[in-house]
Structure 1
Amino acid sequence: MPSFAARLRAALTGVPAEDITTALSRGAGAAPAAAAGGAARGRLVGPGGASAPPPDVVALLAGVAGAGVPATRDLAGVRAWVVEAEGAPPLALRDALATRAAEREVPWWPVVLDDALDDDALGDPPAPADELAATAIAADGRAWLADRWELLRADDDERDGDGPPSPAAVASVRAELVGAFAPQQGDDPVALLPATAAWQVPAVLGWAPGGADLAALDLAGALRHWEERWGAEVVGLLDEDLVLRVARPPADLALARELARELVAAAPLLATDDLPGPVAAAADLLAPALVGASWWRLYWS
């Protein structure tokens, strides 16, 4: 029977799980791409388990300014290809690779990766029964966020009520939420992960912040909803943070309030860590910062 990782990646990418299992058993680490005529791409090169980048990774990197030599890295059983940015900011390299990956429809998606990220930072993968949700998460993401929000509202009686937060506290939380992402060359590599869109990146790794009562597939549903509505794309994957760049941010305060409540539903610490009082009031304090904001940083610790 195909492994959970193979079945999840199949549900997300449309590649048959058996094909992914065959590739993994050969050491490829890459899911074959769904292509015209059913052709599969990506294989292991070298005897005895020695690996080299599959042809689609080589083609993806060829001629891209700033792309170093790719090295394989195991992330909780998922093989990634990690590329150091040479003479270019990691974010610029990530953007160039994302553009090319979308144009060529290859089964690899780039993300700036925290160099310290290890298996301990990856949450336990969802239970196999949850794979069934993978093909429907686009429709479920908004509903899941609404349910999470109502649960937070129900817990309002347990929140501290020490008066409104100080202007300095509000400004600090807003700055953390929408501050620009500037990964440094040499510290934060770009990883190519077996995904076909940015919203899939946490799910294919089983990434879910520890202690957040958050399943990887539920988070993927929220990410897809935000990507479709706001053009919000995961560009950075850190230990307990996600960084998204936003192409179509809310243009007015009413839309920003709606978005703020969704962001707080997914990452409650945005509103509950330093902003005492009712959660709705705390989320509304974040809303002005989201109007026209090009960056979101979601954190869980």
Structure 2
Amino acid sequence: MTTHSKPLIALVTDLMGGSLGRSLPPGSLVTQTNDGPWPEPLLWVADGIAAPGTWAEFLPARDVGLQPVLLQDESGSEEWWDGELDPGMMSDPGDHPAEEVLKDFWESAASETEENEDEEDAGETTAPLTGSWPGLASPGRWAADPATTAAAVAKGLVGHSLKSPRLALVPVGRTADIPAAIGWSGPVNYENDVARLCAVLRSWEDRFGVRVVALSYARLDLSVAAPPQTLNEALRIAAEHFAFCPDNIWQGYESIRLYAEEALVGSAHWTFWWD
């Protein structure tokens, strides 16, 4: 999968950030070495730590073909995006129907869960959604504008869950494509082709107003403009989350039902972490 680097190059050559209507802070390009004589730019990353409102300040970058995202270095010293990105491993998200991807992931996660559950606990993790893939959840009802929701979630993350995030700008048309476009490998122990996950993110963008606001080494933070409002709505979405990232349930909650109740109902922030 390739990115459209022209807007990124144009931005960084405009030292005053005139195309954004504001000054661009000190930063640098992260590049991928390709078969040609020149490196391919993947993203621009600020040198300094982002303030709570930084993500929202750079929303105008979307008008020139760039999407803002916060990058968090969990170690506090090593920049995982320097030398850890490999977009050449990724396919195109558009090649993967979201429901087929989730059905495949569900079957794999449910099978592994069944193998690891004790006889007396059989079925408890996925209850009340037992058996075959339950299908996609219905689209949610918009509670707010997606960009406004994303700005609020990003602001709340900075200084809390994200202790020292950097602002990055990525040349993609929609935030769902950011992980594959930059070659992020956070879920590598679970899925090598992150484009398959991005196909699901595209579907969540359309159904729930989701936006990718932050990436860490193995963590993904999303804002949600149309979160589920009832437990029944949340259960169907929880099934998709279990398929997308089983560790959310395996390592944090006793069951899909408990996850739906405590993490999804009314929540404008979804977090995924892969072990």
Q: TM-score, normalised by structure 2?
A: 0.71
Q: Which structure's relative contact order is higher, taking Cα pairs within 8 Å and 6+ residues apart? A: 2
The partner residue of 1:59 within 15, 18, 21 is: 18
- 8 Å CA contact 1:57–1:108 kept in 2: the answer is no
Tell me the equivalent position of 1:83: 46
Write the distance in 2 (CA, Å) between the matches of 1:215 and 1:53: 29
CA deviation after TM superposition for structure 1 residue 263, in Å: 1.0
1:160 positional shift: 3.2
Structure 2 residue identity aligned to 1:284? R
CA contact (8 A) 2:86 2:184 kept: yes
RMSD: 3.3
3-state DSSP of counterpart to 2:30: strand
For residues 82 and 116 of structure 2, what CA distance do their matches in structure 1 show? 33
Q: 1:271 to 1:186 in 2, by over 3 A?
A: closer
- Select the structure of larger CA radius of gyration: 1
Counterpart of 1:300 in structure 2: which amino acid? W
How far apart in 1 are the matches of 2:256 and 2:88?
A: 29
Alignment of 1:23-38 (within 5 A): 31-32=5-6
For residues 125 and 262 of structure 1, do their structure 2 counterparts lie closer, same or farther at Cα, with a shift above 3 Å needed? farther
Is the counterpart of residue 235 in structure 1 residue 217 in structure 2?
Answer: no
**1:200 to partner: Cα distance:** 1.0
Match of 1:23 in 2: none
Match of 1:69 in 2: 26
Aligned partner of 2:44: which letter? W
Q: CA deviation at 1:42?
A: 3.7
Q: Residue 269 and residue 186 in structure 1: after superposition, are their counterparts in 2 closer, same or farther (change >3 A)?
A: closer
TM (norm. structure 1) is: 0.65
Query: Unaligned stretches of 5+ in structure 1?
Result: 10-19, 21-30, 34-40, 44-51, 166-177, 277-281
Q: What residue number does 2:101 align with?
A: 144
Residue 123 (structure 1) shift? 6.0
2:12 maps to amino acid? P
Gapped runs of 5+ residues in structure 2? 34-39, 74-78, 126-152
1: CA distance between counterparts of 2:217 and 2:105?
A: 23
- Which whole-Å deviations, capped at 9, do the CAs of 1:218-263 have from their partners, x for residues lacking one? 0110111111111111100100000011111011111111111111
Give the C-alpha shift of residue 147 in structure 1: 2.2
Q: Deviations over 1:26-57 (max 9, x none)?
A: xxxxx235xxxxxxx845xxxxxxxx813499
CA distance in 2, matches of 1:294, 1:75: 34
Partner of 1:216: 194
* Structure 2 Cα separation of the partners of residues 57 and 145 of structure 1: 44
Cα offset, 1:275, TM superposition: 4.4
Match of 1:25 in 2: none
Q: What percent of counterpart residues are identical? A: 24
CA contact (8 A) 1:271 1:283 kept: yes
Distance 2:83 2:249 in 1: 26
- Given that 1:243 and 1:298 are in contact with CA atoms closer than 8 Å, whether structure 2 keeps it comes out as yes
Hey, what's the Cα distance between the residues in 1 that align with 2:176 and 2:18?
23
Match of 2:259 in 1: 286
Residues 124 and 158 (structure 1), Cα distance of their counterparts in 2 relative to 1, 3 Å cut: farther
- Judged with a 3 Å threshold, the aligned counterparts in structure 2 of structure 1 residues 124 and 101 are, in CA distance, closer, same or farther, namely closer
Summarize the Cα distance change of 1:259–1:201 in structure 2 as closer, same or farther, 3 Å threshold.
same
The size of the alignment, in residue pairs, is 230
2:274 counterpart of 1:300: yes
